[in-house]
Amino acid sequence: MNNSEQAFISAGIDIGTTTTQVIFSKIRIKDTSGFGFIPKISITDKKIIYRSRIHLTPLTHENEIDALAVKELILNEYAKAGIAPSDIESGAVIITGESAEKRNAKAVTAAISEIAGNFVVAAAGGKLESVLAGKGSGAMTLSKKTGKRVANLDIGGGTTNICLFNNGKVEEAICVDIGGRLIRIDSDKISYSSAKIKECIKNLGLNIKEGQNIYNNNIVSDLETIASSMTSYLTYCIDPEMSLPKEWKDSPNTRLSNRPDIITISGGVADCIEKITSDSFAYGDIGILLGRKIKESTLTNTSFYQKSDETVNATVIGAGNFSFEISGSTIDYRNSTFPLKNVQIIDIEIDNTASTIKRKIEQFCSEYQNSTFALAAEGIKCPTFKQIEETAKLISSVFNFPEYQNKPVIIIIKEDMAKAFGQALRRKLDNNRQVICIDGIDCGIGDYIDIAKPVASGQAVPVVVKTLIF
């Protein structure tokens, strides 16, 4: 590959509790190694080329997403952008917040991933969402620029995703049940309240019930109390020195271990923080009340608060622009069909025995007989020929166990040694065996990866690392 830039289109689709959005970005990559050096494929530019309007997420009823309506919505946005699904080479479609808990969420992501393009990863909730929102909001860039700990709180309709960056690196990511649509209002009456909020209402001794008119019996004041309590809980989540508010005693004890130096806020509620309106329930929920209480709190009225580069668009921009990384350029693949999706990671030590690795696979990959897994290792800096041969012998013996003989051999190595290692594996495995050996990627147990079709004249592959939390 010469040093000329190449470009491809990435998609970002976010199906949230309240809203659904689509963006398309152009990603530019280039060999930045210089003459005479091992190729190094780097992302040189990311530019959003299309943003959809913000759509309300279509539901058939409370517990089910309208899959056909979502599919039609997304296809309409492709048409408006003048982009075909076959034009897409990377990106992510994610179902976020409470939408991830809808009973047909997995079926919806699967259907959308098929129409969204050649490489769109389907992921529902979890740590990935927190990280994507943090990156899309600009918090990661701010942390890298300042060298400080920056926490981004992405406050949506059903959940708040918190990601803490330290010097530009993800340090922690958590998700809590705080959002603007946990109480909903229709025709001046409370139409819905989540189970978590009902617990909080009970613990506070408030008289808030579904069906009540919000303008009777001081209900608006009680809703403000709930919004204030939600704000206190968010403060607890990012401040290790704060005690858990008693009304949230039934909630999981989920919080950051380290206090951030800077706070940013994204998500739909972030837009409500500065919103001036006489209608406190303009969106049919308590998002505006929550935004006001956050504005009055220490979350925003102290010197360590900075406005986000992106608010309501943060997650979808993260999905489109930051959902993947480019592998190292010394990779090796043979008899391989791309993309590969939802490959479970089993991390190993290269000084393990084959039987030890086999036991670990069966311990952590209960579906190994029906699913695809990859072995991930730190690797060796500047390995000798003997070290590569010995490691290849170990891995080939693992995949020659009868249980794994029909499995693709997928190896993920952090250190720069994949090409030589892949070639060594080839000599020890059947010629028809699918072998993929990738370096420059850091992942571990509990992660899943998606591997896209190669870019940069076949010298690198985009990889999405997905970490799930529950």
**pLDDT tier at 469, thresholds 50, 70, 90:** very low
Residue 459 has pLDDT above 80, yes or no: no
Rounded percentage of the chain residues whose pLDDT exceeds 70: 83
Q: Please, are residues 269 and 180 in contact by the beta-carbon 8 Å criterion?
A: yes
What pLDDT, on the 0 to 100 scale, is given for residue 67?
A: 83
Instruction: Give the distance, in angstroms, between the CA of residue 59 and the centroid of all CA atoms in the same chain.
Output: 23
Q: Is the dihedral of CA 103, 100, 321, 328 positive or negative?
A: negative
How many CA atoms lie less than 13 Å away from 53 in the CB half-sphere? 5
Residue 325 has pLDDT above 80, yes or no: no
Task: Output the DSSP codes for 202-231.
Answer: HHHT----TT-BTTSTTHHHHHHHHHHHHH
| Whole-angstrom distance, CA of residue 250 vs CA of residue 470 | 16
* 4-8, 125-129, 238-242, 456-460: least confidently modelled range: 125-129
**pLDDT tier at 396, thresholds 50, 70, 90:** very high
Q: What is the CA radius of gyration of the chain?
A: 24
**pLDDT tier at 327, thresholds 50, 70, 90:** low
- Please provide residue 440's backbone torsions phi and psi, each rounded to the nearest 5 degrees: 80, 10
276 phi-psi bin (left φ>0, alpha ψ -120 to 50, beta other): beta
Q: Tell me if residue 194 falls in helix, strand or coil.
A: coil
- pLDDT for 276-314, tens place per residue? 788 899 989 999 999 999 999 999 988 899 988 877 666
Task: Give the N- to C-terminal CA distance of the chain in Å, as an integer.
Answer: 43
422 phi-psi bin (left φ>0, alpha ψ -120 to 50, beta other): alpha
Q: What is the dihedral of CA 448, 118, 5, 129, to 10 degrees?
A: -40
Q: Which residues pair with 121 in a beta bridge?
A: 92
User: Which is higher by pLDDT, 35 or 253?
Assistant: 253
Q: Please, are residues 91 and 123 in contact by the beta-carbon 8 Å criterion?
A: no
Instruction: Give the distance, in angstroms, between the CA of residue 139 and the centroid of all CA atoms in the same chain.
Output: 15
Instruction: Give the distance, in angstroms, between the CA of residue 2 and the centroid of all CA atoms in the same chain.
Output: 33
Rounded percentage of the chain residues whose pLDDT exceeds 90: 34
402 phi-psi bin (left φ>0, alpha ψ -120 to 50, beta other): alpha
E-strand stretches of 67-114: 88-95
What pLDDT, on the 0 to 100 scale, is given for residue 119?
A: 60
What pLDDT, on the 0 to 100 scale, is given for residue 470?
A: 28
* 115-119, 178-182, 421-425, 455-459: least confidently modelled range: 115-119
Q: Model pTM?
A: 0.70
Q: Tell me if residue 41 falls in helix, strand or coil.
A: strand
Residue 109 has pLDDT above 80, yes or no: no
Q: Please, are residues 194 and 158 in contact by the beta-carbon 8 Å criterion?
A: yes
- DSSP-based helix, strand, coil % in the chain, nearest 5: 30, 30, 40
What pLDDT, on the 0 to 100 scale, is given for residue 62?
A: 65
Residue 324 has pLDDT above 50, yes or no: yes
User: Which is higher by pLDDT, 320 or 260?
Assistant: 260
Bridging pattern class, strands 409-413 and 435-439: parallel
